[in-house]
Structure 1
């Protein structure tokens, strides 16, 4: 009897396995994936950035009305229902900027707002600054604590002394931004971050701590950076309209500067066993191997201090309080600027639980230019550190500033689609709901929600890693007086950057998903027996190196092991450059489209042993072609704009592909 029972159970298990296999063969995705496909949850929809919750937004009777509404789209248009009716699922907010963090009246409004969001099931992110860049708490951090202000080592060849320290304000992002001219903290000073947390994060926790990890799920830090480089002034007439909270001294000369902090010399001496003051000249000039060595030591120290003392300190506090740290860096698209702004931009952003990007344009084609770089940074930081979620702050700021905006719904959707293909899961919006009809806003919210319904639980699966050459740029970087972008970089730096940018654009334009990996993550990666490279949540089959890079010994050893295990290693060179004409032949991706087209974006994911592909047409012409290399069984094709679903079947391992202008399609096997 017992044997018969075991036999029956075995037969049932076999039949269930066969049924699951049959369903897969017929292109049916698991039904649980699609439970919220037509009506995405609030957690999967975008969040509206709202700088302050005023009493007029907090209408109690409107909230009560919503709570009685079973429909997915509430009928009321008051209070927070305004955002729900326009497809938003939650908000990114802060206590009002007026009397920032000091008005009990505004605190009361904020607390009521969080309570209402909790009743409605709306997730809340806390924006951690009065405007931007984050770190000053609207100036409160530096009140009575001038020693916490950003500090630089300046060089004046005609001065006496030639080298001296000064506060970093004039000729920096602190005095050249769109929000306010305000003195800034030192990201390398652990005391400055501790005070920022005390004034900001602790104040929120004191008032709404019971909602942390429930309604309140993340803190958003906005463009913190080292104030050690001139980014140039913002254009008029915007510049003349920016409030001046701290007067700018016109007598402060533009000079080459380097970031510094109160204990930098001691930290440097402990780490390297050398006196940094005797090496100051090499930090500003020189092209010898000794100059390169010193600059690498200096910027490596800067990178570690920024990553640990600002990003790491905030991350540790957030994790201890049940919320995620998130936000984005400044100038993500310019790798040369990553040196003076962070030491190592990839290392800094990797210290966020939900690393993010700032997408100031909603021209979908931006991805084929430098948008890929902006998105590659947070995706890489997330995967390399074993995370998944990625945030975007997205808007049509560039179009509106130029008079070409606001953009239309299709452009918004395509911009969201390509970012989702790059792993973005959290869409925080500076789009103004008033710029579009309620129905257009609702459609956009549904679109983002459907993307996340399928992709947020899925893992991005890029198989290529492009080397992030910050180690080489440390050696080549020389500070200059005046805007950095107006001074040509040294020839070797130009060669490396040009190669890096060309390779990234080539991979993007040939539908080859990839991440960035720096020398530190490369040195920590593990070579697997099957010839791949495991780094966090990424498993890489191909490494690509820009022209002229020099690997440190630890990273070079891993690359050699990878190559010995038959991993593919590609070096760009003057004799054999990687470009759109040879990328597919060199890298041999298992998926490709025919005919080639620069404006098709491809993202690759896995979920429960299924493959999910995201295809986006960021161009203005319909694409007709085929997707080559797909498995021969049926696939499910889903349209996040309409909610439509159908089964498609490849012929000879190729799927016919038709993508209308700005269309996004999802394929799941």
Structure 2
């Protein structure tokens, strides 16, 4: 066990955070080298090389000059035994090569399907072609619905292409003549005023990406054109321009220093596409028809046409994603595999789990504070599934690692106001869900000017006030990544999901009751990734005896899913459908539960818990892992208050506690009822191991001790502006000279002590905003980045006579960067508390 603990305590560099490194200014090799060195000194042993807005035009993306900097940075990393992930775009979304794909062939620009609805029918219907590559897909005459954006599904008549002869076509327009329209209304008692004309036309979307050079951002005149990612020729061009260029320059480092290529939320229509379009490519309707839809179903992509509308749109989305896998993700994955690289990154949507199969290192992102500590954002809404989306795809496709790009624009109000406390919350939120490669967004090469400093802020690395303390985070991330790698969570519940939708409502109940589950998405069934063994569904190393369908109609799944569920039920497997709609298609042997019936939830699901927690525990998350034959429990506190309670396990009793932040351990002790006491303060996490070291002593301190409380005296100092000169503790933001200051100020305290020898010393700082570094009598300092701001020192640090207490407080970068007057500094009250244990 000692060897295992040592690996946990000092994990290898492969578990390092891999931050986006924004190259966003005029590049200089001396600065590149200095920043790489700085990264490594802070325990960051790799980076994602990310071209970003702010690179001068003379350093053109993929040019010899640009690639010379790439080669320099990679070689520097190689010499330091660091790790590199290449990023395949400038800037995002991926697939355009900064517009070079479309420049090479304008016909490779993004395509879309546009709908036009004419409510008042003219004598002659004219359909203009604004571009020579516009193509008429279909024309309909349809009875108007009772509400806007609806048509009568029973009264949709396809005029084109089913009756193509009535369309007059030229290079610039198509027309339906008056006599043809009149003939239509001569039959079936049709009334012209009750009908509309729907025109579906394929055209360029005029979508763009965000570029890296001046005037290339959203809405600017040189914003690079996005490419048609459903066109294999366009994607082949993207690979030739981008991937092959990197191979040409730094290919010798593929498979060693460079281990992956990152593709970032490719967007089929592009950003800022012309309004009203949906993703399309040339003659894409033929793929729609092959999936079982008819030409008269196409209006349902834009208008509500009755009960079949949802089925039409879900079928369309399946066809789009299938095509996207075939034309974009798979070719890039095959190129990566042939060149000894992993494909990593993530699709556009938080729950696009079906697109992750080609990824050898599946990923997702958590950005824009869509997930956050407040307002239950961690367990509600579509984005609350993003952590498990990549992690569960990796579990079931048996990928060793999964990545999450996180912290981008996650400050409060999307500002620089992201605290170290919140950064810890996001890290824990991901880890307990199974993420094991952390990609912080982002470390900025430069924050020169708002075009850089406020481009998707904040910098979560070198340009943030917490950077001097970043070693704490990098070490913590490595330990969690080690724990979550090559480990199997012991969930016995599988929650069924569509390829593009992960349900979250029942998942919320599971999280809040420490019931572990994983998402099983449709493609696993269809692609034969699942096996039935006795009364369990086997997916890779995972085994499920309970399946839950959360408010998804059975009819939305492929027939293969229904067939396997039927066999599973026959083998005494348990299937629960959570639904308030009992008119949905029924499945024999299934248990139906209303979504608000908590008593039934308790009856059927609480038995799948690993342990029973007392007290208010709805914010405690728990995963149980098997790693190299050993069992671990990982607890996190996602709430805003401290947790104190007891834990009673049903089997696999833990024996030892590991603190991944502090790097400490102690033996666990059960009470007479077989319970363990769990104190998990705000923002804390803990690991409990079933196996314990034989040499580890019991934590035999008594439950009570004599406390000696001391009030240290503040000693103002005028030595520098970075030392506190006032004779009382006040909020910096209330001081004119510090109102918009971000940085560190040192406070000096002194006190006399004449008394008995203490066993421990606790420094209680009271209220702090936001990071405290404390030393007692010039000894080694302790750091606390979130409340409660209580720091512990060995008893011998308290000496007889005069004692010196030094407190360095670092506030939030938003004060300076956003001119926010946030609470800052040491507010107190400050107390020193000595503990004397009785024998």
Query: After TM superposition, is the score higher than 0.5?
Result: yes
Alignment match, 1:6? none
The whole-number CA distance in structure 2 between the counterparts of 1:139 and 1:659 is 50
Q: Structure 1 residue 518: deviation in Å? A: 2.6
Q: Structure 1 residue 124: deviation in Å? A: 0.4
How has the CA–CA distance of structure 1 residues 261 and 577 changed in structure 2, closer, same or farther, with 3 Å as cutoff? same
TM-score between the two structures when normalised by the length of structure 1: 0.77
Alignment match, 2:37? 81
RMSD: 3.2
TM-score between the two structures when normalised by the length of structure 2: 0.62
Confirm or deny that 1:589 pairs with 2:608: yes
Larger radius of gyration: 2
Residue 145 (structure 1) aligned to one of 79, 93, 105: 105
1:345-356 counterparts in 2 under 5 A? Answer: 345-356=352-363
Residue 533 (structure 1) aligned to one of 516, 537, 558: 537
Higher strand share: 2
How has the CA–CA distance of structure 1 residues 54 and 177 changed in structure 2, closer, same or farther, with 3 Å as cutoff? closer
The whole-number CA distance in structure 2 between the counterparts of 1:273 and 1:404 is 49
Alignment match, 2:77? 117
Runs of at least 5 residues in structure 2 that lack an aligned partner in the other structure: 119-124, 128-198, 443-459, 581-592, 691-839
How has the CA–CA distance of structure 1 residues 577 and 363 changed in structure 2, closer, same or farther, with 3 Å as cutoff? closer
Query: Deviations for 1:135-165, whole angstroms, at most 9, x for unmatched residues?
Result: 1111111113122222111110127441111
Alignment match, 2:579? 573
The whole-number CA distance in structure 2 between the counterparts of 1:465 and 1:578 is 20
The whole-number CA distance in structure 1 between the counterparts of 2:219 and 2:657 is 43
User: Is contact 2:207-2:269 (8 Å) kept?
Assistant: no
The whole-number CA distance in structure 2 between the counterparts of 1:128 and 1:466 is 33
1:85-100 counterparts in 2 under 5 A? Answer: 85-94=41-50, 97-98=55-56, 99-100=59-60
The whole-number CA distance in structure 2 between the counterparts of 1:422 and 1:57 is 39
User: Is contact 2:93-2:209 (8 Å) kept?
Assistant: no
Q: Structure 1 residue 191: deviation in Å? A: 1.5
1:36-185 counterparts in 2 under 5 A? Answer: 36-52=7-23, 58-59=29-30, 78-94=34-50, 97-98=55-56, 99-158=59-118, 160-161=126-127, 162-169=199-206, 181-185=223-227
Deviates more, 1:579-588 or 1:132-141: 579-588
How has the CA–CA distance of structure 1 residues 282 and 660 changed in structure 2, closer, same or farther, with 3 Å as cutoff? closer
Secondary structure of the residue aligned to 2:353 is: helix
How has the CA–CA distance of structure 1 residues 450 and 549 changed in structure 2, closer, same or farther, with 3 Å as cutoff? same
The whole-number CA distance in structure 2 between the counterparts of 1:110 and 1:193 is 23
Q: Structure 1 residue 554: deviation in Å? A: 1.5
Secondary structure of the residue aligned to 1:357 is: strand
Residue 421 (structure 1) aligned to one of 406, 410, 432: 432
Q: Which has the higher contact order (CA 8 A, sep 6+)?
A: 1
Query: Deviations for 1:457-516, whole angstroms, at most 9, x for unmatched residues?
Result: 323343222222458x8xxxxxxxxxxxxxxxxxxxxxxx9xx33212222222222222
Alignment match, 1:478? none
The whole-number CA distance in structure 2 between the counterparts of 1:528 and 1:413 is 40
The whole-number CA distance in structure 2 between the counterparts of 1:415 and 1:154 is 40
How has the CA–CA distance of structure 1 residues 33 and 259 changed in structure 2, closer, same or farther, with 3 Å as cutoff? same
Q: Structure 1 residue 659: deviation in Å? A: 0.3
Confirm or deny that 1:380 pairs with 2:392: yes
The whole-number CA distance in structure 2 between the counterparts of 1:392 and 1:540 is 25
Paired residues in the alignment total 563
Query: Deviations for 1:347-377, whole angstroms, at most 9, x for unmatched residues?
Result: 1123211121212238445423345311121
The whole-number CA distance in structure 1 between the counterparts of 2:219 and 2:512 is 33
User: Is contact 2:209-2:226 (8 Å) kept?
Assistant: no
The whole-number CA distance in structure 1 between the counterparts of 2:219 and 2:569 is 48
1:176-215 counterparts in 2 under 5 A? Answer: 181-215=223-257
Residue 319 (structure 1) aligned to one of 319, 337, 341: 337
Deviates more, 1:355-364 or 1:639-648: 355-364
Runs of at least 5 residues in structure 1 that lack an aligned partner in the other structure: 1-29, 64-77, 234-247, 336-344, 474-496
User: Is contact 1:149-1:183 (8 Å) kept?
Assistant: yes
Confirm or deny that 1:225 pairs with 2:267: yes
How has the CA–CA distance of structure 1 residues 364 and 189 changed in structure 2, closer, same or farther, with 3 Å as cutoff? same
Residue 306 (structure 1) aligned to one of 324, 327, 340: 324
Alignment match, 2:548? 544
Secondary structure of the residue aligned to 2:410 is: helix
Q: Structure 1 residue 420: deviation in Å? A: 1.0
Alignment match, 1:398? 410
Q: Structure 1 residue 122: deviation in Å? A: 0.7
Confirm or deny that 1:556 pairs with 2:567: no
The whole-number CA distance in structure 1 between the counterparts of 2:26 and 2:492 is 50
Query: Deviations for 1:63-96, whole angstroms, at most 9, x for unmatched residues?
Result: 7xxxxxxxxxxxxxx3411111223121110467
Higher helix share: 1
User: Is contact 1:520-1:555 (8 Å) kept?
Assistant: no
